[in-house]
Structures are given as C-alpha cells and as structure tokens.
Amino acid sequence: MSLAFVFPGQGSQYVGMGKDLYEQFPEARELFDRAESILDFPLKQIAFEGPEETLKQTRYTQPAIFVHSMAVLGWLNRRGIQPVAVAGHSLGEYSAVVAAGALPFEEALKLVALRGELMQQSGQNNPGTMAAIIGLPDDVVREICQTASQTALVVPANFNSPGQVVISGTVDGVHRAMELARERKARMVTELTVSGAFHSPLMKEALTGLENALNQAPFIDSKIPVYTNVTASPVHKAEEFRTMLKKQLLSPVLWEDIVRNMIQDGVNQFYEVGPSRVLCGLSRRIERKVPCLPLGKTEDFQALEDSV
C-alpha cells in the first residue's frame, strides 16, 4: 500500500474537536497543553467547548485545526504508520510540512497562529467574501471571474474537485460572479460564511506580515514529498517550502490536481488526518477507486486498528 496523509484546512472545525483525544491519549494531552503554553488564548476551551462563533474566528480556527491534526499524526507515528507523501488544503499545508519532517511542531504552530491573526485582520481591513460554484467546468468559472472582475475583484480560490470551485474577492465581485454562474446554469451557487476573501489579492496585507516569519523559520529539506497548493507538484527543499507557503496565501488551491498527481505517482490510499472528513469527500469525487479514511476521532482509530 502506498499511503498518503492529507490534512484539512479551515471549514473542518467543530465544537468539541480534539476533546476525546485529549481525554484518552496522554500524548495528545501533552501536545494540547504544550500548544496552549505557546499561544496567547485558551485553545482547549475554545476547541472543546466553543462557542461556535468564537471557534469560527480565523485566529482561533487555524491553530485549533492544526493542533488537532498534529495530535492525530502523533497517534499514527507512534504506531509506525508512515506515508510516502503528504499534502494539505490551505492551512493544512503547514500540517503537511511538519508531517514531512521539514519544520518542528512548535515553529509551525507559531506560524499558523500568526497566519490566522494576520488573515483575520486583513479580512477586517479589506472586506470580502467567498462562494462555492458547483456544476460548471473550471474554465467556465475562470471566464466568469474574468468577466465579473471588470467591475470588482473576484478570482478562483479553490479547485476542489470536478465541478466544484470556490471563488473569492470583494463582496460586489463575488456577487456579480454568482449571478453569472447562475446564468450559465450552475447546479448550485452558495455564498460561504467566512471572515475574509481567502486566497485572493485581498489577503496581500496578511502576506506582508507573514513573509518575514517564513523567512526566519527553521525549515529543512523534507524526508518525503509535499504536494503543494500552488503547483500541485511535489517539493522537498527547505527554500521551496518558504516560497510555496508565501505564494499560497494569494493563489488558488489546486486540490483536484494534487490528488490526481499523487495517484498518478503511485498513491493508492489516503488518510485524512484531522477533524471532519471534508477531504475524503473531495477525494471520492476526484477518484472513487482510491479509498480515503478519515481519522479525527477515537472511534476512527478503532476502525483503523480493526481493519489492520
């Protein structure tokens, strides 16, 4: 079996996430406690108890998902379960870089916390929104964004699976693109509840603050390839990680291409390492023949052990 780990990003959070891991596994407890000593907010209280409105704030969401993914990764590593490659959706790329051995947990957590803070601030200073368009080819969505951008900014943000693209930009730009998508007979057009126009030029302010931290972070060459959001191709080198993590803040996530490229390179099993099962759902739509197992709760671990 050629196994790959994939790590989810924002949108996979839920109140109560990680609480069962914390209560049942001493290593997970130590990880959450260590993370909270680094952060300047009560991570466990927000993740375990909410309220949901607080957890949904980007500055809290991103560290909560990252730490949850790292707790699951630790469980896998302690049992000798190792991937041949990794990838992560947006925020999840930071988890993937840690899993590949290119950055220590503590340093990555500091970057994730800074990224969440800067993206939330950027969203407040440069208001925008996002929307999911389902049932149109990628090229048609690109064309719609180009047309709508003649009056207000909107760009493709996530190419998630066949016929599922998320767009991002100013409120006027996204709303205009949504109108055009409906005119082109999209199966579904839904505005998302987000605190900013992620993966669009409206995040440029956040990039300015993040660049210096990425330049200072102690990246090393990875042990296994990380398929990156920006190119959907595998990278190994420390400097490539810095470059890719800078570019991904303003660039679209090429998730469908990432999954296809990993399969083409020999991956025949995915584990989604983190809360929820969003990426397994996308994986099934991209290539149903390649199984994806969600691993985020203690019952998921039991199912894995039973299958092994």
Q: Which residues are catalytic?
A: 90, 199
Give the C-alpha separation, 254 to 262, whole Å. Answer: 12
Altogether, the residues listed in the chain come to a count of 308
Give the C-alpha separation, 57 to 194, whole Å. Answer: 9
Q: What's the token pair of residue 248?
A: 């991904």
Give the C-alpha separation, 176 to 145, whole Å. Answer: 9
Q: What's the token pair of residue 272?
A: 């989604």
Give the C-alpha separation, 235 to 105, whole Å. Answer: 19
Give the C-alpha separation, 15 to 50, whole Å. Answer: 5
Query: In the chain, what are the helix, strand and coil shares in percent, each to the nearest 5?
Result: 50, 15, 35
Strand order in the sheet with 188-192: 154-161, 164-169, 129-134, 188-192
Angle between helices 58-78 and 92-99 (to 10 degrees): 30
Give the C-alpha separation, 305 to 286, whole Å. Answer: 26
Angle between helices 58-78 and 26-38 (to 10 degrees): 150
Give the C-alpha separation, 99 to 209, whole Å. Answer: 25
Cis peptide before 51 (omega within 30 of 0): yes
Give the C-alpha separation, 239 to 258, whole Å. Answer: 20
Q: Dihedrals φ, ψ of 233, to 5°? A: -110, 160
Give the C-alpha separation, 48 to 256, whole Å. Answer: 32
